[in-house]
Amino acid sequence: MYKNLINRQGTYSDYFFALRDYLLGVNPDDSFDFDMPENFEIEVVIHNFFEDTTTIEKRTMTKLDVYYWDEDDHRCCDFYIYNSGRREKLYDLTSESMKKIYDYLYNYLKDNNLIEVDENGNVTKNYNRKNW
């Protein structure tokens, strides 16, 4: 399902599941923290529901935090994007920015031997490291 994701533009769901399940292997109670390279520019979709408008703003992303909450009344995986003094979630980004994050993490993890890939670039062993 995800093997060609880095070579195409996907939907929010494509990138969410590719990051969570395919690349990072996030499980309940996992926590991941990634610093992004300097001047890593992303685009955030801003919805103004009062004026019924949508704009896209460029921001410099500095950090990505991933938490898989597993509590009695709350179980979900959240991707927090830190940028330009703000914290937003993955679903606030454009598809192009989500792809950019995926591509960066894929290459970073591969280049640092934190994931294993086959000769076709498909992830055969994902990144799975608990911080807490």
Q: Is 11 helix (H, G, I), strand (E, B) or coil?
A: coil
CA distance 15 to 28: 19
Label residues 80-110 b or e (16+ Cβ within 10 Å = b).
ebbbeeeebebebbeeebbbbbbebbbebbb
Q: Which amino acid is at 47?
A: H
Render pLDDT for 51-65 as a digit per residue (tens, 0 to 9).
999 999 999 999 999
Name the pairing type of β-strands 116-117 and 86-89.
Answer: unpaired
In which element (H, E) is residue 14 found?
A: helix 12-17
Mean pLDDT of 93-97: 89
pLDDT tens-place string over residues 14-67: 888 888 888 888 888 788 889 999 999 999 998 888 999 999 999 999 999 988
Query: Of 54, 32, 41, 52, nearest to 115 (Cα)?
Result: 32
Given a cut of 60, is residue 90 above it in pLDDT? yes
